[in-house]
Amino acid sequence: MAEIIAVANRKGGVGKTTTTLNLAYSLKELGKKVLAIDLDPQANLSRCFGIENPNNIEATIGHILMSEIEEESYKVEDYIISYDEIDIMLSSIYLSVAETQMRVETGSEKILSDIIESLREKYDYILIDTSPSLNILTIDALCAADNVLVVADTQMFAIVGIDELLKTVQKIKKRVNSKLNIKGILLTMCDSRTNLSKMITEQVEETYGGKIRVFQSKIPKTVKVGESIYSSQSIKKYAKESIADIAYDSLAKEICYE
């Protein structure tokens, strides 16, 4: 039975997509069967899984959501592709069309959950990459998830982004999805040479430590990560054994075994 993890933070550019991608590869390396869902119309995750032009694809999560809204029948398996032994549900700009429809649809916060619940048996982990917004798509991800992986960069306003997400999670837990929990806070783009990065790391640990798990594994800021994303690859493919690859492997072990 899969554990469903939503990777989230309304703050943009903190490393959500990079984390979803590389965590999927590291979990696969541990022998886990992973499904990654790109729930962002920007479709950056889809590009990292070898799709050059996501907007030409007609079997995306946006299309399934529309089928659900229009009560058309479909086979969810037809919307899943396999890449490097990781399964993925792609996104495209069409997801914004679905999002607009969902805003006026009754009970739409449960649509994604209805879609992926039937897939639980096939996977060990289902990772959902969300957009930098607390829109209906992200709410759906939080309603479908068991756990939230809070990704925070060690830059200004990190705490603001974390606090805002935690408040939303509490509301969803109370009103819609009582099983929802925080998996932990993952600090990304850590640079031990800069005081700001060190200060924010300490601030997050002091503010949340003891109450919420702050992962021991921290993702270093390295040019290799930027280059790997630029060339649409995971860090494991682009720079195996680099410090960022090792950090994501260590995160996967914390998630699986601790």
Nearer to ligand ATP, 114 or 227 (CB): 227
Site string for ligand ATP, 171-200 (x = CB under 6 A): -----------------xx-----------
* Residues 40 and 95: beta-carbon distance below 8 Å: yes
Site for ligand ATP in 57-116 (CB under 6 A): none
Nearer to Mg ion, 133 or 207 (CB): 133
* Residues 187 and 220: beta-carbon distance below 8 Å: no
Site for ligand ATP in 4-33 (CB under 6 A): 12-18
Q: Which amino acid is at 161?
A: G
* Residues 153 and 13: beta-carbon distance below 8 Å: yes
User: Please, what is the minimum distance in Å from the beta carbon of residue 227 to ligand ATP?
Assistant: 8
Site for ligand ATP in 129-158 (CB under 6 A): 131-132
Nearer to ligand ATP, 68 or 92 (CB): 92
Nearer to Mg ion, 68 or 187 (CB): 187
Give the C-alpha separation, 39 to 191, whole Å.
29
User: Please, what is the minimum distance in Å from the beta carbon of residue 20 to Mg ion?
Assistant: 8
* Residues 215 and 224: beta-carbon distance below 8 Å: no
Which partner in Mg ion, ligand ATP, none is near 15 (CB below 5 to 8 A by kind)? ligand ATP
Nearer to ligand ATP, 44 or 234 (CB): 44
Nearer to Mg ion, 10 or 32 (CB): 10
User: Please, what is the minimum distance in Å from the beta carbon of residue 131 to ligand ATP?
Assistant: 6
Return the ∠ at Cα 14 (arms to 255 and 253), rounded to 5°: 15
| 40 forms part of the interface with ligand ATP (CB under 6 A) | yes
Binding-site member from 4, 5, 15, 16 for Mg ion (CB under 5 A): 16
Give the C-alpha separation, 175 to 213, whole Å.
23
The residue with tokens 């479709």 is 43
Which partner in ligand ATP, Mg ion, none is near 222 (CB below 5 to 8 A by kind)? ligand ATP
Which partner in ligand ATP, Mg ion, none is near 217 (CB below 5 to 8 A by kind)? none
DSSP 58-126: SSSHHHHHHHHHTT----GGGG-EEETTEEEE---THHHHHHHHHHTSTTGGGHHHHHHHTTGGG-SEE
Tell me the CA distances in angstroms from 214 to 18, 45, 205, one per residue in order. 18, 24, 7
According to DSSP, the β-strands at 125-130 and 3-8 are parallel
Please choose, from the candidates 43, 40, 62, the residue with its C-alpha nearest in 3D space to the C-alpha of residue 132. 40
Contact residues for ligand ATP, defined by CB under 6 A: 12-18, 40, 42, 44, 131-132, 188-189, 219, 221-222, 225-226, 229, 244
